[in-house]
């Protein structure tokens, strides 16, 4: 799952709607377009992000992932012509950039989702404009022949793989990811053979894990991914509409990760070869990674500064009493059947 922040430009209709209640009708409009800073070869460059409205992720038809709500915004029959128009509009909006990230609801390499002529047109545009291109794919679509075909058009690529966890039990039982760590390893070794840079998405706090288990799992996953990845993006779960995670959250059975946990993961994984970046979607909010509300902004700023500099001394550690509560949760939650109830959220609601 890729991070999605700062929606700007064209708003995604239905982004906050319940599944099926509103469908996007403007099939020629990209779901979202924005610019952001990205560290490439040690330098900050202007990156453009495009989210194309496709027919959706193939895995969504198998139930989808427990935390992913992106497909509830995907529109039914999107033609190749629609996708090309979306891409051209996005390219016009973005203007001069050095790096382009193209996301769909699922996999750029899945021809059912992104038809071949659309992928070719996007690759040719990047080649002609000298742009580094990042796209995401599930590992099952990464094959020798597919990569050869793509690399014959454009070779300045970064391919993102959403590993989420390097633990098969968590992939299966907490996320319903639909592939195994072995599948990720196969795809990543193929990409390395072809000298394509890999960006791996790591999830922090899939459902059914305690806070401490989630931190340990993210650290282990980052270590696993760092052996093959140029970049690792740590993505703390945010509660998206229509997902299993949302149902658990509404039943007081899930709390998004603490920002203290994000800091802990980033500090513990210091010294790896891969670059580690993090920009928590919905950070500081009830549905995103958050602390008590008083220390959130300082920590979020420090995480963003760290991501752009890779300087661990930039990771903030403000004095805040909520750190003691987080420490207690880390130590004790495993002994409490069913986990701890998020009382802070309850009392905040009562005051509101």
Q: Measuring CA to CA, how many Å separate 319 from each of 14, 95, 304, 326?
A: 39, 42, 19, 13
Segment contacting Zn ion by CB under 5 A, of 41-49, 73-81, 190-198, 289-297: 289-297
Residue 19 or 293: which CB sits closer to Zn ion? 293
Question: Can you tell me the distance from the alpha carbon of 144 to that of 292, in angstroms, rounded to the nearest whole number?
Answer: 48
- Is residue 187 within 8 A of residue 147, CB to CB? The reply is no
Q: H or E element: which one contains 267?
A: helix 259-268
Q: Which residue has the tokens 């094959």?
A: 143
Contact map string, positions 82 to 121, toward Zn ion, x by CB under 5 A: ----------------------------------------
**Which of 58, 291, 302, 307 is the binder for Zn ion (CB under 5 A)?**
291
Question: Can you tell me the distance from the alpha carbon of 298 to that of 286, in angstroms, rounded to the nearest whole number?
Answer: 17
Residue 75 or 282: which CB sits closer to Zn ion? 282
Question: Can you tell me the distance from the alpha carbon of 161 to that of 221, in angstroms, rounded to the nearest whole number?
Answer: 13
Q: How many residues does the chain have?
A: 352
Question: By rule CB under 5 A, what count of residues binds Zn ion?
Answer: 6
Question: Can you tell me the distance from the alpha carbon of 257 to that of 289, in angstroms, rounded to the nearest whole number?
Answer: 5
Q: How far is the CB of 331 from Zn ion (least distance, A)?
A: 18
- Token pair, residue 21, equals 């209640």
Residue 131 or 320: which CB sits closer to Zn ion? 320
Residue 85 or 323: which CB sits closer to Zn ion? 323
Q: Which residue has the tokens 């986990």?
A: 339
Q: What residues from 306 to 325 belong to the interface with Zn ion (CB under 5 A)? A: 320, 322
**Which of 292, 308, 315, 325 is the binder for Zn ion (CB under 5 A)?**
292
Q: What residues from 320 to 349 belong to the interface with Zn ion (CB under 5 A)? A: 320, 322
Q: What residues from 194 to 253 belong to the interface with Zn ion (CB under 5 A)? A: none
Residue 277 or 300: which CB sits closer to Zn ion? 300
Looking only at the bridges linking them, the beta strands covering 275-277 and 157-164 are: unpaired
Q: How far is the CB of 349 from Zn ion (least distance, A)?
A: 18
Q: How far is the CB of 289 from Zn ion (least distance, A)?
A: 13
Residue 265 or 322: which CB sits closer to Zn ion? 322
Contacts of 40 (CB under 8 A, 6+ apart): 98, 99, 132
Q: Which residues bind Zn ion (CB under 5 A)?
A: 291-292, 294-295, 320, 322
């Amino acid at each position: 799952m890729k991070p999605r922040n700062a929606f700007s430009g064209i708003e995604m209709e239905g982004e906050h709607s319940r599944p099926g209640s509103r469908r996007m009708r403007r099939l020629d409009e990209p779901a979202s377009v924005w610019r952001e800073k990205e560290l490439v070869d040690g330098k900050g460059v202007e990156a453009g992000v495009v989210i194309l409205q496709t027919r959706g992720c193939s895995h969504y038809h198998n139930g989808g992932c427990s935390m992913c709500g992106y497909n509830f915004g995907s529109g039914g029959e999107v033609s190749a012509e629609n996708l090309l128009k979306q891409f051209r509009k996005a390219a016009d909006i973005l203007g001069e950039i050095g790096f382009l990230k193209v996301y769909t609801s699922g996999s750029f390499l899945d021809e059912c989702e992104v038809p071949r002529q659309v992928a070719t047109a996007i690759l040719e545009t990047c080649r002609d404009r000298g742009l580094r291109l990042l796209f995401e794919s599930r590992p099952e679509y990464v094959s020798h022949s597919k990569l050869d075909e793509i690399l014959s058009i454009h070779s300045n690529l970064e391919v993102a793989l959403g590993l989420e966890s390097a633990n098969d039990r968590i992939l299966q039982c907490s996320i319903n990811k639909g592939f195994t760590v072995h599948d990720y390893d196969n795809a990543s070794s193929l990409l390395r053979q072809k000298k394509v840079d890999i960006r791996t998405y790591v999830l922090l706090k899939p459902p059914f894990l305690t806070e401490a288990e989630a931190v340990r799992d993210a650290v282990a996953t980052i270590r696993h991914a760092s052996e093959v990845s140029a970049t690792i993006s740590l993505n703390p779960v945010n509660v998206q509409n229509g997902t299993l995670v949302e149902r658990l959250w509404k039943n007081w059975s899930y709390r998004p990760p603490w920002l203290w946990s994000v800091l802990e993961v980033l500090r513990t994984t210091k010294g790896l070869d891969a670059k580690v970046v993090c920009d928590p979607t919905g950070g500081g909010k009830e549905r995103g990674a958050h602390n008590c509300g008083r220390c959130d902004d300082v920590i979020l700023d420090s995480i963003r500064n760290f991501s752009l500099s890779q300087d661990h001394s930039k990771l903030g550690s403000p004095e805040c009493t909520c750190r003691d509560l987080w420490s207690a949760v880390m130590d004790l939650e495993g002994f409490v059947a069913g986990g701890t109830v998020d009382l802070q959220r309850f009392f905040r609601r009562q005051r509101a």
